Structure 1
Amino acid sequence: MTVLQILPCSVSQLLSASKASSDTFALNDLEFNQVSVVGVVRELAPFVKYVQYCLDDMTGPPLTVMQWVNSEDCTPLVFASPGSYVKVIGSLRSSTGERSLQAKHIRVITDLNEITSHMLEVVHAHMQIFKKKFDVNMNITAVPSEELPSVQGQVLHVIRRGSVRDVGIGFNELQSNLDFLSIKDIKSSLTSLMDQGFVYHTIDENHFKSTDP
């Protein structure tokens, strides 16, 4: 099994990863020790020995992130306030059935382009893990909509058309273009497309872009 030291991930991938050993997890046949995640801080709870964050990247339920205080290090912790975007590098842990991320480094993001860059890194890593198609320049090869299940293909087709805009396409516009589909089917397709790395969120959880033209 291949082991990767730092794997760009989404929260949903961390929550669905299988346990490979006592201190490692795996996606498909790729075992990883450390991950990088980008998201918005929803909650902050400082304790004596650690700071606990609730991190949300809008791909699934929020993830608990714990940053331990190093008593031998005189450098004070810089708290990331709720509402700010951060990049976290750390190790995934599981205790009593609950997943959490033990942070080695937390940095507040000031350039929002870094959020998009991270999501593209996640997509590239995901494509490599699950052996999706790449061209000779290591760009993701566009998957024809007809190769996907019919509903997913229709949703992806509309999202691709709306991806010419920086913010992508909003859910209301997506639904308007697919008014012959139920909201449940559209949301289910969106979840599947994001899990497969074809679609990602932009300015909020209700705007989407495709990872290829």
Structure 2
Amino acid sequence: MSNPNPYYPKSGGSGGGGGFMASQGSQASPGGSAQRVANAPALRPVTIRMLQKADHATGDSDSAFSIDGIPLQNLTLVAEVLRVEPGDTNRRYGIEDSTGEIDARCWLDAASVKGDMAHITDGSTVRIVGTLKVFNNKRSINAAHIRLVTDQHEVYYHKLDVMATILQHRYGLTNNNTGNAAAPMTGSSTAAAYAHAGPSSQVAAISSRFVHLGSPHRLICEFLAGHPSMGNGGADVKTIVNGIKHLSNANSAEIALALDQLMEQGLIYNTADDTTYDLVE
């Protein structure tokens, strides 16, 4: 597909910039444990049926959803648009993915109006990143980012990603290096699990995860993956530039642009401020 990232959106949005939400907290799910909260993925691939059946703690807290006992923070899904309801400040989409239907609301800003959102119509296939909300006992998605899917393989990729993540949560990572190296990175594969696997599988895992990216995007992700601050505050722009400048011909402006694009694709997110980044695990 045209996007340099194989199928992951901006995932991102911390609020600003329409992508990965840095973190919405990690409340324990009903009957869950501290270990399960710690293992909750930053971005969970899901189906609509999973959202409709997700456990919800008593009360009206939107962040108290969980799937299989794992707190649901930020989610991503691929679905077909059934209808578009435009508004002055937001657009509401009725979507389905063959497992169910749900509404998704995306708030408008100048960038979104000029971007993919302007071209999304009934029948479009989209990837959405956001959070699950409930109002008047009806569940919906608060979409931080929505973009067109232009490669049919992304639909199949997402289904496989959902299944792989479910299996990881239920059975854990395999004990052999090959299994660890090949494990999907969007689920519960944490930095700690890869660190435990040993240097050779760490290198293999990083390479297999970012091999599709061009320079400097791949170099940025590999630098963050190997940086001591991964998962602990991230690295600022200056540190990233200094870390990859000897490997890339890109100047500071090109690296800054690459960081924005990686944010939009859901591979990295802002941590302490708008100039500090960390890798989505």
Q: Does 1:12 align with 2:52?
A: no
Structure 2: runs of 5 or more not aligned: 1-35, 184-281
- Partner SS state of residue 58, structure 1: coil
- The answer to whether the 8 A contact 2:127-2:146 is kept is yes
- Partner SS state of residue 119, structure 1: helix
Q: Does 1:55 align with 2:95?
A: yes
1:101 pairs with 122, 141, 149, which one?
141
Structure 1 stretches of 4+ moved >3 Å: 132-140
Total equivalences in the alignment: 137
Map of 2:194 onto structure 1: none
Counterparts of 2:173 and 2:111, CA distance in 1: 48
> Which has a greater percent of strand?
1
Alignment of 1:1-213 (within 5 A): 1-2=36-37, 3-20=40-57, 22-24=61-63, 25-60=65-100, 62-70=101-109, 73=110, 76=113, 77-131=117-171, 136=176, 137-138=178-179
Counterparts of 1:55 and 1:39, CA distance in 2: 6
Q: Deviations over 1:32-56 (max 9, x none)?
A: 2110010110111101121010111
Overall identity of the aligned pairs, in %: 24
RMSD of Structure 2 on Structure 1 (CA)? 2.2
Change (3 A) 1:4 1:132: closer
- The answer to whether the 8 A contact 1:18-1:26 is kept is yes
> Which has a greater percent of helix?
2
Higher relative contact order (CA 8 A, sep 6+): 2
Change (3 A) 1:78 1:35: same
Counterparts of 2:168 and 2:135, CA distance in 1: 29
Taking structure 1 as the reference length, the TM-score comes to 0.59
Taking structure 2 as the reference length, the TM-score comes to 0.45
- The answer to whether the 8 A contact 2:112-2:118 is kept is no
**Aligned residue type for 1:27:** I
Counterparts of 2:99 and 2:128, CA distance in 1: 16
- Partner SS state of residue 120, structure 1: helix
Counterparts of 2:147 and 2:131, CA distance in 1: 16
